[in-house]
């Protein structure tokens, strides 16, 4: 499977479609999910063209990988979630239920969450 340059997050990165941005630097963009599943639901994406978790970890430079996860933690603090807790989710591929084929991490919190694993 090759990277679809017209997926919705690629279009957000090219600023063809707006997003409600919460953080941006040269490697990472984070924005509110358009259909939030919790009071806080943020999507955090690398700017590079990676399809999903698997692709990112197989092909990105180690510094890029470390940088992304450091920013995930920073953004959790930006929303004061470090004490109350939060959940990180990444859906990978068809069986993982991934809808948008650009790697993204869901940062979800702001309330007690239900169970998330399984069917």
How many angstroms separate the CA atoms of 4 and 36, rounded? Answer: 24
Q: Is 41 a catalytic residue?
A: no
99 part of the interface to ligand 5GP, by CB under 6 A = yes
Residue appearing with tokens 């991934």: 98
98 binds ligand 5GP (CB under 6 A): yes
Please say which residue, 85 or 96, places its beta carbon nearer to ligand 5GP. Answer: 96
Q: Which of residues 4-43 bind ligand 5GP (CB under 6 A)?
A: 8, 17, 19, 31-35, 43
For ligand 5GP, give the closer residue by CB, 26 or 94: 94
Identify the active-site residue in 41, 102, 104, 106.
104
Residue 38 neighbours by CB under 8 Å, 6+ apart = 108, 109, 110, 111, 113
Residue position matching structure tokens 């940088």: 67
Report in angstroms how near the CB of residue 72 gets to ligand 5GP at its nearest.
15
Sign of CA dihedral 63, 68, 72, 78: positive
Q: How many CB atoms lie within 10 A of CB 38?
A: 18
Q: Which residues have a catalytic role annotated?
A: 104
The binding site for ligand 5GP (CB under 6 A) comprises 8, 17, 19, 31-35, 43, 91, 97-100
């Amino acid at each position: 499977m090759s990277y679809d340059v017209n997926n919705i997050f690629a279009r957000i990165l090219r600023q063809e479609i707006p997003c409600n941005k919460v953080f941006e630097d040269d490697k990472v963009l984070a924005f509110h999910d358009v259909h939030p599943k919790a009071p806080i639901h943020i999507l955090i994406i690398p700017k590079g063209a990676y399809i999903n978790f698997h692709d990112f970890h197989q092909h990105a430079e180690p510094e890029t990988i470390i940088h992304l996860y450091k920013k995930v933690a920073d953004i959790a603090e930006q929303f004061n979630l470090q004490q109350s807790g939060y959940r990180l989710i990444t859906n990978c591929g068809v069986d993982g239920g991934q809808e948008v084929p650009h790697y993204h991490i869901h940062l979800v919190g702001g309330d007690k969450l239900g169970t998330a694993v399984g069917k």
